[in-house]
Amino acid sequence: MELFDATVATPPLRVRLEQVDATVRDVSAPTLAGRTRFELTGILKGVQRDGRVRVGGWLESGGRDASVGVQLRSVDLVALQPYLSRAAETRVRRGALDLDLQAEVRDSRLRAPGRAVISELEFAPARGVSDTFMGVPRTALVAFFKTGEDRIEVEFVLEGDVSNPRFTLQEALAARLASAVADRLGVSLREIAEGVGKVGQKGIETAGDVAREVGGALQQLFGGQKKR
């Protein structure tokens, strides 16, 4: 199965899944009323490595309520970096991502606690002292891995209104991960704010509490207004 995503790259990013095993149960046709349960597993092909993906849970008609678990294991960070950083940022030469996310949607309100592990991270040569990755100064990440650590573990929570057309899960995830990684590395509010536009104005506004966690400095730099 090949998926093409034009929302994160031009030309569209191609994501290839192999050995796909999918099951859908409790489908009520034609009304689609009640909970439809599903599970999908497969191999997510990468540039440097292949990883495993598992998605499962249930959805109710209209998508106002859902419970979905996502698990990624040893997924190639090179292949997924358009979801985490902008094209102008430092390129990843090598790396792996593990992700656990449990998304609960009630009356279109999303709450999704998660845990991510970034490991074996290696960047392309620096282009300048202000280089960033995920909005975090590249120098902070390089210094962290030079201490002998080979992985960054972070926990986060995504929240938002999925019925709001301005909300995108990808931008909310990128914003939250940037905030969590910056906090883990002890990067200051000013450093991450200056590093950034990376999550984008839209991402900051729609990931409301992400902006609050990183601080009012982000809202001021990007011209947004604080949410109350």
**218 in a structural domain:** no
- In the prediction, which pLDDT does 210 show? 35
Q: Is residue 66 part of a domain?
A: yes
The pLDDT tens digits of the residues spanning 131-167 come to: 888 777 788 888 787 777 788 888 888 888 878 777 7
> What is the per-residue pLDDT across 15-48, written as a single tens digit (0 to 9) for each?
999 999 999 988 877 776 778 899 999 999 998 8
Instruction: Identify the domain containing residue 44 by its residue range.
Output: 2-164
Domain assignment of residue 178, yes or no: no
Task: Share the mean pLDDT of the chain.
Answer: 77
Domain count, the chain: 1
Summarize pLDDT for 167-197 with one digit per residue, the tens.
777 777 777 777 788 777 776 544 444 444 4
Residue 183 lies in a domain: no
Q: Does residue 172 form part of some domain?
A: no
- Whether 170 maps to a domain, the answer reads no
CA angle 145/215/168 to nearest 5° reads 80
pTM of the model: 0.72
C-alpha span between 210 and 181 (Å, rounded): 12
Q: How many CA atoms lie within 13 A of 220 on its CB side?
A: 8
How many helices (DSSP H) and strands (DSSP E) are in the chain? Answer: 7, 10
pLDDT tens digits, one per residue of 40-58: 999 999 988 999 999 999 9
Residue 216 clears pLDDT 70, i.e. is over it: no
Q: Does any domain span residue 29?
A: yes
Residue 32 domain-assigned? yes
DSSP 62: G
